Chain A
Amino acid sequence: GQNIDQPTEMTATEGAIVQINCTYQTSGFNGLFWYQQHAGEAPTFLSYNVLDGLEEKGRFSSFLSRSKGYSYLLLKELQMKDSASYLCAVREAGGFKTIFGAGTRLFVKA
């Protein structure tokens, strides 16, 4: 079966660091993605992990542990504009089909 779990909501303070966790159980694995989605807009790509370890891209970092079926997205130096939904998504093995988690709605407060 397919199951992707992430927290429903999180709140953090401007300038702080927040970690959004994602656990998954899918039919095979060919990479994990994080997307950002502002209300009323399409998702935009943030990161891609296919091997274990940490990928850093500016204020955003993403970590993957395939043996644990676990990933997290780390956002540093939070800004108000980071208030959005963050979607964890897994690409299944053998193709390009991507399954999305329910998303984590992040609220950044002043």
Chain B
Amino acid sequence: SAVISQKPSRDICQRGTSLTIQCQVDSQVTMMFWYRQQPGQSLTLIATANQGSEATYESGFVIDKFPISRPNLTFSTLTVSNMSPEDSSIYLCSVVQGNTEAFFGQGTRLTVV
């Protein structure tokens, strides 16, 4: 199984600022995804991080708010831009190797004040 290192594990940020979350995998993976999990709720897919091209965003999420990079097959970043308290959530990186189950990073718990 893939080992995923996600940083930071948590942060408290001022509204209007931006935070970049990093996801590093110990092996090359087919797909990488970013999810958001708001308190007491399930996972909502933000986007698919595509290697070498623009991410594919789900309905309700846009590139200006959540820019994503994926420069290679083992690394991706998600930026939460111009944050507001409504962005307070857990952000999770997920990877798929081959056609198997998804593995998750430990998540980044973001609080916007």
**A42 pairs with B42, CB closer than 8 A:** no
- Tell me the interface secondary structure of chain B in the complex: strand
**B96 pairs with A43, CB closer than 8 A:** no
Q: Which A-chain residue is minimally distant from B105 (CB atoms)?
A: A42
Q: Which B-chain residue is minimally distant from A45 (CB atoms)?
A: B101
Tell me if A48 counts as interface (CB < 8 A to partner B).
Answer: yes
Size of the A side of the interface (Cβ < 8 Å), in residues, is 18
Across the interface, A42 reaches (CB within 8 A) one of B33, B41, B99, B104, namely: B104
Q: Which A-chain residue is minimally distant from B30 (CB atoms)?
A: A96
Q: Which A-chain residue is minimally distant from B104 (CB atoms)?
A: A42
Interface residue ranges of B88-113 to A (CB < 8 Å): 92, 94, 96, 99-107
Q: Assuming A42-B92, A96-B30, A96-B96, is B102 touching A101 (CB within 8 A)?
A: no
**B31 pairs with A42, CB closer than 8 A:** no
**B96 pairs with A100, CB closer than 8 A:** no
Tell me if A24 counts as interface (CB < 8 A to partner B).
Answer: no
Smallest CB separation, A13 vs chain B (Å): 24
CA distance A102 to B38 in the complex (A): 11
Q: Assuming A96-B96, A97-B48, is B102 touching A45 (CB within 8 A)?
A: yes
Question: Can you report 18 A-B residue pairs in the complex whose CB atoms are below 8 A from each other?
Answer: A33-B101, A41-B106, A42-B105, A43-B43, A43-B104, A44-B104, A45-B101, A85-B42, A87-B42, A87-B43, A96-B30, A96-B31, A97-B45, A98-B33, A100-B45, A101-B42, A102-B41, A103-B42
Q: Which residues of A contact B (CB under 8 A)?
A: 33, 41-45, 48, 85, 87, 95-103
Q: Which residues of B contact A (CB under 8 A)?
A: 30-31, 33, 35, 41-45, 48, 92, 94, 96, 99-107
- Please list the 8 inter-chain residue pairs (A to B) with the smallest Cβ-Cβ separation, ordered nearest first: A42-B104, A45-B101, A100-B43, A96-B31, A103-B42, A102-B42, A96-B96, A100-B42
Contacts beyond the supplied A41-B106, A102-B41: 18 A-B pairs with Cβ under 8 Å: A42-B104, A42-B107, A43-B92, A45-B101, A45-B103, A87-B43, A96-B30, A96-B31, A96-B33, A97-B33, A97-B48, A98-B33, A98-B45, A98-B94, A100-B35, A100-B42, A100-B44, A101-B42
